[in-house]
Amino acid sequence: MRQSRLRLYIFCTWVAFWVASTVLVGLAPVCRSDQAVGRDQVVPVVMAVAGIWLPALSALASFWFPEKERARASRSRVPIDRSVGALTITAVYLLFVLFMLLNAVYWINYRELTAGAICPPPGSSLEEQVAAVVKVCLLVSPVALAPINWLTGRPND
């Protein structure tokens, strides 16, 4: 596979997951029957989650898509094992992020966490759960971005 094509696959996968996560957060007030996620919480959650996607996407776009770099990458072939490895690491990370986000937005019962509590326990709000998800995902992100290093380097690196 050409390096330019692999880069495009990885970039488009990141964009697709960014769009999917944004749409899923936006639909939460409508989809949750317990109404534990309000419309007023959507924008802050989307902004927090964007902290996972935007730094990686901006770095990928700035390093990979200048015309001179695309021309060089179109001449470079990536061995199949590296291609599969890069796509697998990327997919596993993005699915992990999506699972963690779905858990925080859809599957945690926030009303149950705070029922009967005079002072809500830490981590019992959507915003706190999403902040924790973002921290964990950013902590794991260097593993997911490992293929980016050699896909950004020279063909023989």
| pLDDT, tens digit (0-9, with 9 covering 90-100), for 57-107 | 998 888 888 888 888 888 889 999 989 999 999 999 999 999 999 999 999
Reference 12, options 47, 56, 44; nearest CA is: 56
Reference 72, options 146, 156, 154, 9; nearest CA is: 154
Q: Both tokens of residue 80?
A: 């199949």
The pTM assigned to this predicted structure is 0.87
Least trusted range by pLDDT, from 5-14, 41-50, 61-70, 108-117: 108-117
Query: CA torsion, points 11, 16, 19, 21, in degrees to nearest 10?
Result: -110
Residue 145 has pLDDT above 90, yes or no: no
Q: Is 71 exposed, middle or buried (0-12, 13-18, 19+ CB in 10 A)?
A: exposed
In this prediction, residue 95 carries a pLDDT of 97
> Could you tell me the residue ranges of all domains in the chain?
3-152
Contact 82, 150 (CB under 8 A): yes
In whole angstroms, give the CA distance from residue 69 to residue 126: 42
